[in-house]
Structure 1
Amino acid sequence: MSSFLVVLALAGSLAVSLIITVPCSGALVRLRANYNPRGLQLDDEGNVEPHTGPVVTTFIGMLKRVKRIEGWPGLYKGLMPTLLEALAITFFVVTALAANPKFPMKTAPSSVGIFGTLAYLVFAILLSLPAAVITYRAITTPYRLPYFRPMYSLRILLTPTERRRPWILYLTPGLFLSQFLHSAYNLILLRGLKRLLIPKFSSSDDGFEYSPLKLGIYFMIVILNTAILCPLEVISTKLAIQRNHAAAEYNSVEQEVEEDGVTPEEYVEYSGAEEDVIGLRHEKDPYLGLVDCAKRVAQEEGWKALYRVWWLTLLAGIGSAFA
């Protein structure tokens, strides 16, 4: 009976969490993925034309835009891959608890040393990278994805090359590196500083024991580190939605000749709107890596584009002090 209550509680908390987080994460991904160049663009014939894509600069503004153009279904794009990932994690936790009631709910991979931590990071990213790619693409695609037709959705989200050779997702220029650097920075540097400056809270007769000075120093470090972590998050988002192609006459990530064989329905056809929620960079002009992406975003969209929704990165860092 107790196991049933645990499963019921986990299911309830998961449902509430998805209802709240999926629209928010969708707005975050769209805002960071939106391509909004400042300068003039060239059309197919080489003529100069102004960029006419959407200009959205705020988190709330993106939420409102999604609701106006795609409605409630648009707000919950990316629900199924997020749900499947959450269910896999929940299943693992429940199984581990059933096998061993003393299973630790919180793990500390950094406690096994730096090489063990790096190995843990590589393994974790190998598992999470395809899920992140599919989720980000499901959120940013202009096409409607059925909830219960996964193969149809994958034919829309993945190129023929990616479906034939799924491992090519790991070769998306700069994506693995950007995710690795972000995770390593958080897990090794920030966690190490946290253990040094903020000892584990322990209850005593006088309440919680901590040093206000060390806590203040840690918060200042978190604020400064936002300048590093936020651009990595933006770059990871832009690289994850960059599809891989393998036509011989093109670059490996440029437009592929082979057709996908599906005719998906766009949200604009469903809602009657005449515009997409966000603008996407043309696949014939891809980013060639992490550094190239950072440079071209700064040159084409301005350096502020690398700090979209920076305050969320800051809040996550501050919240880590009490995790």
Structure 2
Amino acid sequence: MNAKALVQEQSVVTRARKGNVSGQHHLAGYLFIAPWLLGFLLLTLWPIVRSFYLSFTEYSLLDDPSWIGFGNYSDIFLNDRMFRQALKVTFAFVILSVPLKLFFSLMVAILLNKSLRGIQMYRTAIYFPSLIGGSIAVSVLWRNIFGLDGYVNHMLGWFGIQGIAWIANPDTSLLTLVLLNTWQFGSTMVIFLAGLKQIPQDLYESASVDGATPLRKFWHITLPMLSPVMFFNLVLGIIGSFQMFTSAFIITNGGPAGSTYMYALFLFEKAFKNYQMGYASALAWILLVIIAVLTALNFLVSKYWVYYEAEGGRDPR
């Protein structure tokens, strides 16, 4: 065997060994992710596919699903008055709560973005409400605060102001839920605070040398540099607000007069009170489409106001 043939044979053997080692590494990787992959397939992907199928059926959990095509969707859009009410209330909640939450979380993040003694304690205290989230305990507490004999009316009584039934009044019930959602701004605030930490201080120093006022610094430096973080919080805020359920269920149960009848609450009642699983699956897919469309619109318009320094973008102002 000549030298050339020997080199070729050694090269083939080396490649085979490398292939075996690479295959073993891949097998080990698949074994490590197998629990997550199995959970994703059985607990996420399969329910999604199953719910899509059920949305075209009449299914009550007691009988086998029967195929009705687009019957559920036609009933939802043409005949269901409560669907329109739930959609109207949910859109009102999103329009009111998301901007308020973004505004207050940004303002608080700016206040906490300072090198002061004990600032860590203040950050922890302000973030704490987000740790307990939209739990049942918080909802019960909020119901007691804004009840007719609650703390808010008790404090108003100190000033001789007649209290009102905040939760039982259709004109104010939705606002109590908006305030609760705004109060839990800790997670959004932390993300804003992380974004503020990434803004180069040289920009502020240069603006100070040019005589820029704090307001101009905020408008022409802070907001453009923070716009990607703001866009991220905006998208997550819209998605989370459309799925709001616990507060509406515990505090008002959709009342009074349907003024807090959220979409998720409507879906829950159709599925687990009326046992209309096919109908509820269609409602879930309609909600998915609404959120997907709004998210896509946000991405489309983001190029007009989101500033990415790494891409050489310009200040949209």
Shorter-chain TM-score bucket reads 0.3 to 0.5
Task: Report which of the two has the higher share of helix.
Answer: 2
Structure (1 or 2) with the larger CA radius of gyration: 2
TM-score (norm 2): 0.34
TM-score (norm 1): 0.33
